[in-house]
Structure 1
Amino acid sequence: MPRERLSVVVTRRLPEVVEKRLCELFDTELREDDRPMSNDELIAAMCRADVLVSTITEHIDAAMLAHAGERVKLIANYGAGVDNIDVATARQRGILVTNTPGVTTDDTADMAMALILAVTRRIPEGLAVMQNGKWSGWAPTAYLGGRVGGRRLGILGMGRIGQAVARRARAFGMGVHYHNRRRLRPEVEQELGATWWESLDQMVSRMDVMSINCPHTPSTYHLMNARRLKLMKPSAVLVNTSRGEVVDENALTRMLRAGEIAGAGLDVYEHGAEINPRLRHLDNVVLLPQMGSATVEGRIEMGEKVIVNIKTFDDGHRPPDLIVPSML
């Protein structure tokens, strides 16, 4: 007799080609709409599925896992970050957790550079004037931004994405500096033209642009806190395309309003979609709706990784992107 197909529940709408392949391979339950599942819906999904395909909008904590029942054996996260899942508790309950690393490295690095350019060259201000029909013609002193070439870029977190940002910044003529939990190998530093700073405080105080590219962990929560933000030069710019929790959003907002920091480009926020309303009205801030990894190619590749992880698990082998607590 043929083996019973694995039961898979998908929490959000995914690209059509990904959903079609999931349905071909597994007994897949797709989402009819694209709203996030409630906690009760998530618990119910885990109780009836062998595999839950989650996204960053689902926060699966210890309390939720305690009510998940015994059936679910794999949470295949559609995304590189897994800070939305209590991985340690999941493993204690015999539930494996996988992610989709490396897929959106270039997409996110492109967005970091786009934000650096948008803030330093005042692109949103120019766009707003054109859309409002208020442009009256060229003027020598209108919308003066600054060159990125020659500026010092400080990268906080020199993993895959941080290194991709460094390569792009170097092509724009920026000086590349970084702070990381571990120093890169000399040959990698040389290839990137990057200078390592053991002291984050010292690096922050000397940079023209700060790019946040580290994951959210207990040790990186508010790593850019009020004290550290005050070390930044008044002419400096901060860009965040990694996790909003790394930056104290209220402190950043106060400093931007007071002119103590020149500008910011944000694609992620400390409280998810609940953005500090004072940020929305600042001319020196560029806000994006978590678009860093939003490319058709990237989203499909993420789905392909999810499918490989589930198929490998279904075949009785270790999923290639298995997360273990010691990795976090």
Structure 2
Amino acid sequence: MNIFYDENMPFAAEFFSDLGDLTAFSGRTLTSADVRDADVLLVRSITKVNEHLLQQNKALSFVGTATIGVDHIDQQYLNNRNVKFHSAPGCNAISVAEYVLSALVVLAERYLFSLSTLTVGIVGAGNTGSRLSEKLSALNIKHVLCDPLLAENSADMRDFVSLEEALHCDVVSLHVPLTRKGENPTYHLLDAARLAKLKDHQILINACRGEIVDNNALLKMKQQGHPLKLVLDVWENEPTILLALISHCEITTAHIAGYSLEGKARGTEILYRALCQQLDILPSKQLADFLPVPAISAIEIKQDFDEILLNQLVKMVYDVRRDDAIFRQQINIQGFDYIRKTYPTRREFSAIKVTLNNALSSDAPHQLGFNK
């Protein structure tokens, strides 16, 4: 069996080596000829899997994307060819939630406000929005959820608000998939009209898909002097992004919010298990077999947990300012894809064991995801 996989899938060789012959590829430049002999094709979000890519392939039986989003996959075409498809829902949800938290910690320090005073509107309450909600709850930060599809699901007992109400919060954090059809399309969900209603003090965070926000309308608004604070990890037309927008942002990154080692590797593990199921074999490997020990693996807290300690703890594991600096320095020299391809290793909170030595201290670090 010929297994073709994106070279940026961590531990792909380790997971799939026993299942077939492996070939790694560059996801952005993949051609039809490259995958002509693939029985299994494993991609990330930069590879569009459609009839054009697969026109020379006659053997394909399984396609997997090691990502949450599936807008780059022509599922109808795969279904017509009887090719099994599997995505990795939730694989990097924790990573994205920790990206958002790091951004909020950095902005709170930069502008001298307390996180406890914020209201956060989470637009999209699936895996990623839910993980962010859990972390905000651990810190007693007020937040609301907006998700029209889940609001209609009687099995989901959470309270939901309208998009208009979510857009009135101090922070608006976007976590929806990209859809262009149906009753609630998300393409340009924040168009010029909705952007114009945002207030001077607000913070807008987009860490889902660039096309959710009309980037040209956003640039025009900022050029006219609107003080809205922007945190952008995703952009329209990646990798050919609207460079003029960068200077108007507080934090800018190259679609790496979900790029923790654990987040990317979970996607690999999910696809490994899905392929094992299709082949009717028992999985013999798990992610814990491959994750390295972090440089700092344990810390001890001997004081009450407060925002100063939160600031130190979050930035010790992940300081988003590093990625912002790399992006601004390299985007015009190396380009968008190079920044993603050479992204330095980043761990999640769970990689660090936190011991609380004060019996009265808040358990917030463990609720945030740090190990006990």
TM-score range, shorter chain: 0.7 to 0.9
The alignment partner of 1:44 has SS state of coil
After TM superposition, give the deviation of residue 188 of structure 1 in Å: 4.8
Could you tell me how far apart the structure 2 residues matched to 1:288 and 1:74 are?
32
Structure 1 residue runs without a partner (length 5+): 1-5, 123-143, 190-194, 318-328
1:245 aligned partner = 211
Could you tell me how far apart the structure 1 residues matched to 2:224 and 2:137 are?
31
Q: 1:46·1:71 contact (CA, 8 Å) conserved in 2?
A: no
| Closer, same or farther: CA 145–152 of 1 in aligned 2, 3 Å | same
1:59 aligned partner = 48
Could you tell me how far apart the structure 1 residues matched to 2:246 and 2:276 are?
44
Of residues 147, 151, 160, the one that matches 2:127 is 160
Of residues 257, 264, 267, the one that matches 1:292 is 257
* Residue 269 (1) aligns with residue 235 (2): yes
Q: Tell me which stretches of 4 or more aligned residues in structure 1 moved more than 4 Å.
A: 184-188
| Closer, same or farther: CA 301–153 of 1 in aligned 2, 3 Å | same
| Closer, same or farther: CA 19–11 of 1 in aligned 2, 3 Å | same
Residue type matched to 1:292 in 2? A
1:36 aligned partner = 27
2:188 aligned partner = 222
Could you tell me how far apart the structure 2 residues matched to 1:168 and 1:21 are?
31
1:75 aligned partner = 63
| Closer, same or farther: CA 68–120 of 1 in aligned 2, 3 Å | farther
Q: 1:48·1:71 contact (CA, 8 Å) conserved in 2?
A: yes
* Residue 200 (1) aligns with residue 163 (2): yes
| Closer, same or farther: CA 102–203 of 1 in aligned 2, 3 Å | closer
Residue type matched to 1:200 in 2? L
After TM superposition, give the deviation of residue 115 of structure 1 in Å: 1.9
| Closer, same or farther: CA 187–7 of 1 in aligned 2, 3 Å | closer
- Output one character per residue of 1:216-254: Cα deviation in whole Å (capped at 9) or x when no partner: 111111111111111111111100111111111111222
Note the 1:1-328 alignment, pairs <5 A.
6-15=1-10, 17-31=11-25, 35-38=26-29, 41-65=30-54, 67-122=55-110, 144-181=111-148, 182-183=150-151, 188-189=157-158, 196-197=160-161, 199-204=162-167, 206-218=168-180, 219-282=185-248, 284-315=249-280
TM-score normalised by length of structure 1: 0.77
Residue type matched to 1:100 in 2? A
| Closer, same or farther: CA 316–301 of 1 in aligned 2, 3 Å | closer
Q: Which moved more, 1:232-241 or 1:167-176?
A: 167-176
Percent of aligned pairs with the same amino acid = 22
Residue type matched to 1:46 in 2? V
Matched residues, number = 276
Residue type matched to 1:298 in 2? G
- Output one character per residue of 1:146-175: Cα deviation in whole Å (capped at 9) or x when no partner: 222222211110112112112222333432
